[in-house]
Structures are given as C-alpha cells and as structure tokens.
Chains A and B, each alone.
Chain A
C-alpha cells in the first residue's frame, strides 16, 4: 500500500505544480460555472425556440363557442413556419383520427416525463360550457381549466408554457369581449401539472448547472488527465523506471486512482464553495445517493481515461482523441442544459453517453428533476462503461514503449 500512496502523492504534486493541468482541471470548471450562470442564469437554460407540444381536445363544443378548437387553432398557426424554410415555433402532436384519446394522452405524458416533448395540453370535456357557466357567475360552479403537463426543471417546458399562456390569454380576451365582460380576472384558466418531479418546483439554473459542472470536471480529469499522464510517462520512458523496481502495474493503478479521486474531490469542493457562496446555489449533495453517483462518476471517467489511453500510442494523439470526444460527449449529455428537444439522430448519442445517465441520476437523487431514464439504468450504464473500458484497456494498453 505504501508504494501506491507514495506514488499517488507524487502524482498529486505533479498535477498541482503543472500550471496548465491545474488551470484546466481545477480553475476552468469554476470559471465556466461563473460564466454560464452569468450568461444564462436569468435567461433560462437553453436558447431553443422549437418545442414539441402534445394536444388533446376533449371539448365537444363546435364553432365560435368551441374554446378548445380556438386554442387548437392558435397552436396550429404557431406550428406553421413564419417564413418558408424556417423552423416553426411548435411541433403540434395530435391524436390520429381513430386513435384512442386516453392512449394518446398516456403516450404524450410519457414523452413529457422523459423530456422528449416540452408540453402536453389537454382541453377537458365540457370545457367551453364550463367557461361560460363560470362567466355567468353562477355560484358553486367550479371553474373548468385547461390541463397542462410539463416537465419539472425543464426550461423547454417552461418556455413552451409561457407561449401557451399567451395563447390562452388571447382566447380569454376574445371570450370576455364576446360576453361583454372586461373584468380583470380570467375566464379561461389553465392548471399546470409537473411530471417527473416529486416537488414539482422550478429549478434555478445555478442549481441545475452545479451537478452538471461537477460531472464535467470529473470527466475532464478522466478524459485528459489519465491518458495525458500515462501516455506522457510512457513516451518519456518514465514508466520503465518504475518497472525495473518492485513497483507493479496494480500498485501504479491504485496510486493513480487515488490521485484521480483526490483531484475529483478538489474539483467538487471548489465548485461547491463557489456555487454556494458566490453564486447562491442551494442544491445539496449531502445524501448517500449523491455520494454514490459522485463515486460512480469518478470511477467511470477514470476507466474511460484508461480506455482512451489504450486507443493511441502517443501523448499528442491521446490529447487529439480526447478533444474530439470531449465536445460531443459533454454537449450531448444534459450537463449544461436540458436535452429533451434534441433531434432524433442525436438521441442515439444520448442513449450511449454515460455522462447523460450520470447527470440524470445525480440530478434525480439530489431532487432536481425527475428521471429521464429509470434510476437503475443511470447506475447500470456507467457500470457497463467501466467494464467495457477496463476490458479494452486491459487488452490494449501498453505499459512500455516497445521496439
């Protein structure tokens, strides 16, 4: 154990003394955190103006009196492109002619729950009549409301809801005007239900971002730190100095893992401190579930680093490969923003990206959002990645420069 710990201490010293390493592994995540919160913290999590919206109209009233139909008409208009060749604001999903409305609604709820669609709007049966009854102010009549289902913690859902509220407000004004009423209260009401969140509360961007950046920092340490250190040490023939002593590959790996864990702990501590005291983050990682996901993430990216190191021969090639992997993996993972509205082909990358599962699982166990995938899958997929990475690295990774 002593050789492994001594090696870990030496590696840690090297990491902390190399300014470039220190910057990219420790300071960069903090700077990115501050930057992202400064830019997007008050605007929302993403800049998309394209939303998938499901719509069910159970209101039977037709013609001018059919409020459900009016809402649908406006949404229909929004689902047409404003200019030719431009993306429409909404993609409206409605049941096919013969489709059972309950089946369609259940499917759409799932789509919202798992982040594929931003919103589900249900106009209940008898809605038009209910609104008119409420307008007549007959006491004892409960107002009938449009039912809106959105995903907790999703900015896409939030933005789509804002649009829907504008739609409803427009219909509401028309109804009030036709009834000769101009009272301040609304006639057409909507009730929002959050899907996938036990709390059903909106998540602040800084809280949403913090776990993502913690994972990004761990990922960077694994993706760049592990292959960088191993390939450089192999190329510079530092490793062979070790192999002519009793120091063994398992001891090297143990020491290397300890260093990686310490670097991750350092990153985590700094991000938490900056998040909490400088940016006002309130999210708490003090739970066994969070600890499990943090350890799992650290191990996953450590193994992933060995995997990357096993694919190339030189440090330069290792860094090039890490760079090529880094961008798609982090941006198609949900670390920085919700990815529920990604187009289909990119969803495949999401489905195999361990980052997205770890981000989803970690956010779920710290109470930020409902799961986009079952929790067991958020644990299983990273474990499969660890197994796969170590298997490939075990077969391919060379510990010395051969002739």
Chain B
C-alpha cells in the first residue's frame, strides 16, 4: 500500500484486439478497505480490465501498482494476496464442493480452513454434493468460496450476480457487505445500476473501453443537479407531444416508450404534467418519481441505457 492508502492504482491501461480497443486508457485508484465498482454495459471493457488485473491477460501498455509494487503483469506473489470470482469460469463437474474448495486452498500458502469457508458461504450442507448438481446460486457461492479461501486482501468480483435470481443476488450482496466490514478491498464489475449503488464506495463508469465518469454513486448522481426525475411510459408519442413535455421541465430524454422528464420544481411540473395528460387524453403509464441515479448519469453521458 502506498502512502496515500491506495491498494491498487491503474494508470493509462490499454488493450486492443485487432482494431478493437477493448481498454482505452483506463486509470483509477482503489483505497484499501473500499468497494470500487466498474459499471458499464456489456462490451464496455470491464472484464478485460479486470482480467488484466487478475493476471489472465497482459496489457498493451499502462502500469499497475498493487500492494505497493509496480507490475507489468500480475505475478504469482501478487496472486497469493488476491481472490478472484470470474465472470466466466466453471469447476470440474465430478468434484465435490468440499474437494473444490480444498483444491483451491492447496494453491495458497496460508489458506483459511475449508470448513470455515464452507460455513461462511452456507455450503456446508452441500459439501458432499458434486458440482454438476448445484444450482446457479450455489455455484456462484462456490465461486466466491474459492475466491476467499486464500484469505485475500484484494477481492475481484466480476459480474457476481449476473443470471442469479433476486434472492441469490441479495445473498451475494450480503457477502460483499461482510467483506467490506472485514476491511477487504473489493473491485467489482457490474452492469446493474442498483448493485453498483448499493455496494460501492466509488464507481467508474466505462463505455467503449474508457472511463467516462468516476466518483461515489451519490456524487455522480448529484452531478446531474438537484433535480427530480419523473419517469413514465408514453405509447405512440408524437414529436409535438415530446416538445410540449420538454417545456414542462428542465430536460427530457426518451428510451423506447419510456420518457424521463427532469425538473427542479417538482410540484409545479407534476401539476402541469397531469393537466397535459388530461387535456390530451394520454395516460401516463407506470409513472415513477425518483431522484437521479447512475442509470441517469449513464443516459445523460451516452444517450443510451446501461442494459441496451
């Protein structure tokens, strides 16, 4: 860790595949004991960035400083202090759960007891089950178990809740909160705005391989101003309808049938919007009033939604 308390610092990281710039000058720093999230749509460069930091890929250029050492490529000594949950990765289907954890424990110099890790991941009951018989959520918990069995200081969680049901997702979130309480440093990638907002101390929003915004979730949302977002669906909206609606607030954006109307004077805007709806005979389906979130930040920066 350097004198600023940073566990990881990435500077001008670049990686291309042919003509495609997967990572295009990414820089960020992660203080010890925090959760840092790379947020972005699929193909934004999150996983490639993480795979470079995990040692799976070599960058074309850029520097990585981790645990106070500057590295071109992550080495074995660094991996001893890291735990990784991969976005894509399986286990031998014919191994039992406890055998998988024991196998990965053997790779580390000072692993945690297998029993303790299984209990923590609530896998004790499944310890004698073959991997091939596990559900998606159980497999993901097993993935987290092998990421933690080496007692890492830095934990990489690449899209940890993708494809999981809501209950399994919240279980993973609880694990991340526990790790944060233990002062583990966590680098997370996700394309779920809610996940990034719930779990992160800091967020870097990636698009087309580059960071387009960075800061705490609250600071990023506040960057859009002290405005309220009124969100509703408008079926068959005409251009003149949108022009009239835009005049009701401080800004308007659409995505399909969804309309996002921003306002700094919520009450007045709401009254005028309801009057407009009544006068035109146009229902405002699924109306939601909320504060701006990371989705709005991404939308305002790129004109697209996170999960397009």
- Residues of A at under 8 Å CB distance from B? 2-3, 6-7, 10, 13-14, 17-18, 233, 236-238, 240-248, 400, 403
Which residues on the B side are within 8 Å of A240 (C-beta)?
A: 56, 86, 88-89
B149 CB to nearest chain A CB (Å) = 9
Interface centre among B76, B92, B109, B150 (most CB of A within 10 A): B92
B72 contacts A by Cβ under 8 Å: no
Q: Could you tell me the distance between the alpha carbons of A243 and B82 in the complex, rounded to whole angstroms?
A: 12
Q: Which residue of B has the minimal Cβ distance to A242?
A: B107
Interchain residue pairs with CB less than 8 A apart (15): A7-B106, A13-B94, A13-B99, A14-B95, A17-B130, A237-B86, A237-B88, A238-B92, A241-B86, A241-B89, A241-B90, A244-B55, A245-B108, A245-B150, A403-B17
Interface centre among B17, B22, B94, B146 (most CB of A within 10 A): B94
Which residues on the A side are within 8 Å of B89 (C-beta)?
A: 237-238, 240-241
B80 contacts A by Cβ under 8 Å: yes
Which residues on the B side are within 8 Å of A236 (C-beta)?
A: 90
Q: Which residue of B has the minimal Cβ distance to A238?
A: B90
0 or 1 for each of B80-104: is its CB under 8 Å from A? (1 = yes): 1010101011111011000100111
Instruction: For B146, give its contact among A3, A13, A237, A241 (CB under 8 Å).
Output: A241
Top 7 A-B pairs, shortest CB-CB distance: A6-B106, A244-B84, A17-B94, A247-B107, A245-B107, A236-B90, A14-B94
- CB pair B94–A244 under 8 Å, yes or no, is no
Q: Could you tell me the distance between the alpha carbons of A240 and B147 in the complex, rounded to whole angstroms?
A: 13
Q: Which residue of B has the minimal Cβ distance to A6?
A: B106
B79 contacts A by Cβ under 8 Å: yes
Which residues on the B side are within 8 Å of A238 (C-beta)?
A: 89-92
B116 CB to nearest chain A CB (Å) = 18
- CB pair B79–A244 under 8 Å, yes or no, is yes
- CB pair B82–A244 under 8 Å, yes or no, is yes
Q: Could you tell me the distance between the alpha carbons of A400 and B54 in the complex, rounded to whole angstroms?
A: 14
B199 CB to nearest chain A CB (Å) = 21
Q: Which residue of A has the minimal Cβ distance to B90?
A: A236
A315 CB to nearest chain B CB (Å) = 13
Which residues on the B side are within 8 Å of A246 (C-beta)?
A: 76, 79-80, 107-109, 150
Which residues on the A side are within 8 Å of B104 (C-beta)?
A: 241, 245
B53 CB to nearest chain A CB (Å) = 10
A388 CB to nearest chain B CB (Å) = 29
0 or 1 for each of B210-250: is its CB under 8 Å from A? (1 = yes): 00000000000000000000000000000000000000000
Which residues on the A side are within 8 Å of B102 (C-beta)?
A: 6
Which residues on the A side are within 8 Å of B86 (C-beta)?
A: 237, 240-241, 244
Instruction: For B92, give its contact among A6, A14, A244, A245 (CB under 8 Å).
Output: A14
A252 CB to nearest chain B CB (Å) = 11
